Chain A
Amino acid sequence: MSDVQSISFERQRIEHLELKNITKRFPGVLANAHVDFDVRAGEVHALLGENGAGKSTLMKILYGLYHPDEGEIFINGSPVRIASPNDAINLGIGMIHQHFMLVDSLTVAENIALGLPSSRGLLTDLDVVSARTEMLAKKYGLLVDPGAYIWQLAVGQRQRVEILKALYRGADLLILDEPTAVLTPQEVDEFMETIRQMTEEKHSIIFISHKLHEVIAISQRVTVLRNGRRVDSCPTAGCTKHDLARMMVGQEIVMPKLTTPPKRGEVRLELKNVHAQSDRETPALRGVDLQIFSGEIVGLAGVSGNGQAELAQVVTGLRPATQGQVLIEGRDMTGKLPGEIIRCGLAYIPEERMRDGMVQDFNISENIILRDHNKDPYAKRGFLLHRVIAEFTDRLIDLFHIKTPSRETPARNLSGGNIQKVVLARELSRQPRIIVAAQPSRGLDIGATEYVHNSLLEQREKGAAILLISEDLDEILALSDRVAVVYEGRIMGILDNKDAERERVGLLMAGVHPD
């Protein structure tokens, strides 16, 4: 292990880090206003706040990616200047970003070695890096193959690479910006274990998450931001989820639930013996049969990587089915182009919204009309009707509480959660006949999650057929009329809402038939 430690730079350990009076303005937004924040060695300090509250901004300032307009940073009582990520790394600060910062075409070891001095001077020393990575990986339970390419890895493994990158650089303090958003419940448990181990070794951890039970389970202190300002800080012990939610939003939030029985109509979406391959050309779907009726929500539960993503892509025409049929309102749509399928009234909230859901360089209006830009009422005879588009966008910004300086702001300048709201707003406002929603509340704050859940229920009332894909069992159980459990590309069972107890669903997710 001494080998691993020797990599860290000649400097004092971070015992206490303080951000004082940090203010950061973007054009039209006050992202941070006089924020104080501190963290000690061996402590997990959680940072909470709604989408766009300024959490990521504050952390990017600490990591040297943004420069504050006002304020100072202190390490062990002395002021430090962090002008770039390099400064942060040299001071012992590591950051796991809200969106992965990995080079897909490089291997794990190459990603870790990137930017570090090599023991062989100008030449890379990937074998040394691999060996050290494996040692660190074993120590913290972050197993991953150093020779694998990033594009070959599942999200959970990518997350491990991100942590290894920081640990390898000898980080004392780790900023974790929504690290659990993309993890499965099992992976979250393992991740929490890693965090505990790191704090035992006197690492300092800043933890950002919208999942309040995680915050309660792992942190010693909580700080809440609202509209860029620090609202409150307090010890976590003794706080309940409700307390935290109230601090964040300023009011009580009750998550919506199914209350009425479904007004079932005709079959809108039907899958018959659908087979498909994954990106790695292994079988991902092996004969899926599923019917979704008008006026009902079918939840697709399952451990991530059991074919959920592929199923959504086959239905929306983004992935070919190798066998079987997809019927939309009785018409065979297998192998049709996504455009034709959309025209049948299908709305799709993709899992990878940053990549598949929008154009980053387009502004909000443009992203909102992306699908229907050539149609009434947004366009007439090939000309865009800017006034109509503007009004419509403003209405959605208002309805979905999208936090943005204006409708002309490019999507990439929005906070992570607000980017997702734009996609949701576009898809749910199209009066869809069928909705495929993949992880619709991932990365959303509780207020926004409530809104999305209510919107899905409203669409159900209006008669849409809804396929809800989620790894969050609470979400599935609260909203689904029927719960379909997928395991290794097959439907293990379909349970009615009243029979869908947590244990039963859990067993099916593990591939076990209860009877």
Chain B
Amino acid sequence: MITDFFSATVLIGILASGIRLATPYLYASIGETFGQRSGVLNLGVEGQMLMGAFTAFYITLRTGNVWLGLLAAIGVGALMGLAMAFVSIHLRAVQGISGIGFYLFGLGMSDLLFQKLMGEVKTVSGFGAIEIPFLSSLPVVGEIFFRQNLLVYLAFLLVPVAWFVLNKTTLGLKIRAVGENPQAADTLGVSVAGIRYLTVTMGGVFSAIGGASLSIANLNVFQQNMTSGLGFIAVALVYFGGWKPFGVLFGALLFSMVNSLQLWMQILNVPIPSDFAVMMPYVLTIIVLVLTVGRVRGPSALTKPFIREG
């Protein structure tokens, strides 16, 4: 058994599924990175992911079209992001608390809709694997990286794109300024509320796509609370990654690889209590956060509502 575990096929399997498992983290964390860089902490990621996962699944189930499913998830994510933006920017609610509210809403709502509309666990045929010509036939590498579904490829593409937007565009400059010193940005005519609405809505969209990547690409089922804390880890990954897209990528891969490892250990019946194996990614979250606390400074205006009196 133990020897099986170290065979090449198993190692390749672990790495390939690790890559796939990183997908939902990446979408959610990159979305959250934008929000936090502009000064808004959205703790409702998990709820947005669940709603995205359900919507994508249900629409795909009904129409048989994964693209419609994805589009619907994007719509729902945008709405939830907009609501979070309204509450935290317009109404200036305490962000940590309102985020928890949105999490609970998403958790309950996705479950309710699931009970009412479906009632039992079903499967759909989601985004299939796309073999990249030539690359996918490379030994080892091909199997790990280039036989994934579309949403996996897009998630990894999102990282350099996010980096580029944040660091090389005028929008990115505004986002960074608004998250550090909204007063200063305001005096230069930058709309603090406008930028924050944009990033938080975008965050909602990406979280929902992250959810959809579970329900119509990686697993092709929907179950109640199927994200089981993944959205919260995604928020932690933003801190871990130092609010930088490539840092987030590193964190997401670390977690997904550990997750993949523990899944394979269960599949292969490695003699470790399964509870312990399941705990691994969460324990890792805590260890990593403890180790990274205070290493990099976050955006100065994070969680602070902006008010211009007068």
Contacts and interface: CB of A to CB of B under 8 A. Distances in A.
Contact of A26 (B176, B177, B189, B310): B310
Question: Which of under 10, 10 to 19, 20 to 34, or 35 or more describes the interface residues of A?
Answer: 20 to 34
Contact of B180 (A84, A103, A124, A413): A103
B168 interface: yes
Contact of B185 (A24, A115, A122, A123): A115
A294 to B, nearest CB: 41
Given A103-B184, A123-B170, A84 B309 contact: no
Contacts of A413: 309
Contacts of A89: 188-189
A84 B309 CA distance: 12
Interface string A89-130: 100000101001111111000110111111000111000000
A66 interface: yes
A433 interface: no
A482 interface: no
Contacts of A63: 187
Contact of B168 (A24, A85, A117, A123): A123
B310 A66 contact: yes
B169 A124 contact: yes
B310 A102 contact: no
A84 B190 CA distance: 10
A65 B184 contact: no
A105 B170 CA distance: 16
B203 to A, nearest CB: 20
B171 interface: yes
Interface majority SS on A: helix, strand, loop or mixed?
loop
A114 B308 contact: no
Interface in B131-177: 168-174, 176-177
B184 A101 contact: yes
A26 B310 CA distance: 7
Residue with the greatest number of chain A CB neighbours at <10 A, chosen from B169, B186, B187, B309: B187
Given A26-B310, A122-B171, A124-B169, A105 B176 contact: yes
A163 to B, nearest CB: 14
Given A24-B310, A101-B181, A86 B189 contact: yes
B183 interface: yes
Contacts of A67: 310
Would you call the interface of chain B mostly helix, strand, loop, or mixed?
helix
A101 B173 contact: no
Contact of B190 (A102, A110, A115, A165): A115
Contacts of B171: 122
A114 B185 contact: yes
Given A60-B310, A413-B309, A106 B177 contact: yes
Contacts of A117: 170
Interface string B287-310: 000000000000010000000111
Contacts of A110: 173, 177
A410 to B, nearest CB: 10
A171 B176 CA distance: 25
Contacts of B174: 114-115
Interface in B165-223: 168-174, 176-177, 180-181, 183-190
B194 to A, nearest CB: 11
A124 B181 contact: no
A114 B188 contact: yes
Contacts of B185: 103, 114-115
Contact of B170 (A60, A65, A118): A118
Given A85-B187, A102-B184, A115-B190, A123 B169 contact: yes
11 contacts: A63-B187, A65-B186, A65-B308, A85-B188, A105-B180, A110-B177, A113-B170, A114-B185, A115-B190, A123-B169, A124-B170
The 10 closest A-B CB pairs, nearest first, are A86-B189, A66-B310, A115-B188, A101-B184, A115-B190, A103-B181, A101-B187, A103-B180, A85-B189, A103-B177
Interface of B: 168-174, 176-177, 180-181, 183-190, 300, 308-310
Given A65-B310, A115-B185, 16 more contacts: A63-B187, A89-B189, A97-B187, A101-B188, A102-B181, A103-B177, A105-B176, A105-B300, A111-B177, A114-B173, A114-B174, A114-B177, A115-B189, A123-B169, A124-B169, A124-B172
